[in-house]
């Protein structure tokens, strides 16, 4: 995405607040994040929007971060009828039944340890890469994991915002 304004960004800048709020909720389930992005409209360019997203993600409280994570399905189990999560998790689509079963077990162990879903920017990752990531992160301290989750959420938000302002161009 370039730093200049695009037709999709212009469309986003001029959406009614309720429509923009709905669109932003599809990007990130944290209402605080959505309000932060909405409050800075209009954006002069896509890079300004992405930088605002980075700042809003960094400013999320633990509760807000929990709200954001609640909007993400477990790896290997995209939300039925949700093309975004299916697209992002397509690395698991061709996984063997053994890998899918292992991911289910790892997801449950991770959730039991940390109290939330395992969050990773799954776009472009294989099932094996996602499995290896959960295995390597499950031993982290809660503080380490919150930092990693925030980074992964930031990557996901950037990808989804980019898609939001470039769709139909």
pLDDT over 80 (residue 145): yes
User: b/e per residue, 108-130, with b = 16+ CB within 10 A?
Assistant: eebeeebebbbbbbbeebebeeb
The model's pTM: 0.90
User: What letters, b where the CB count within 10 A reaches 16 and e where it falls short, cover 4-41?
Assistant: ebeebbeebeeeeeeebeebbeebbbbebbbebbbeee
Query: pLDDT of 58-97, one tens digit each?
Result: 999 999 999 999 888 887 776 666 777 667 777 788 889 9
> What tens digit of pLDDT does each residue of 107-138 get?
999 999 999 999 999 888 999 999 999 999 99
User: Over the chain, what is the mean pLDDT?
Assistant: 90
Q: What pLDDT does 86 receive?
A: 65
Segment 35-48, tens digit of pLDDT: 999 999 999 999 99
Q: Could you give the percent of the chain with pLDDT greater than 90?
A: 74
Q: Classify residue 134 by its DSSP letter.
A: H
The CA distance from 18 to 20, in Å, is 5
Domains and CATH numbers, the chain: 1-61+154-169 (no CATH), 72-138 (1.10.3330.10)
């Amino acid at each position: 995405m370039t730093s200049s304004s695009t037709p999709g960004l212009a469309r986003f800048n001029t959406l009614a607040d309720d429509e923009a709020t709905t669109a932003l909720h599809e990007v990130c389930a944290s209402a605080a994040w959505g309000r932060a992005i909405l409050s800075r409209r209009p954006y002069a360019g896509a890079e300004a929007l992405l930088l605002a997203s980075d700042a809003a993600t960094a400013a999320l409280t633990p509760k807000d971060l929990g709200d954001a994570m609640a909007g993400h399905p477990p790896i290997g189990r995209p939300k039925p009828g949700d093309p975004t999560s299916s697209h992002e998790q397509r690395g698991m689509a061709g996984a063997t039944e053994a890998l899918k079963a292992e991911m289910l077990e790892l997801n449950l162990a991770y959730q039991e340890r940390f109290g939330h879903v395992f969050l990773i920017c799954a776009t472009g990752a294989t099932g094996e890469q996602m499995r290896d990531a959960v295995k390597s992160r499950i031993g982290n301290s809660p503080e380490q994991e919150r930092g990693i989750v925030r980074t992964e959420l930031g990557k996901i938000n950037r990808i989804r915002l980019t898609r939001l302002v470039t769709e139909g161009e």
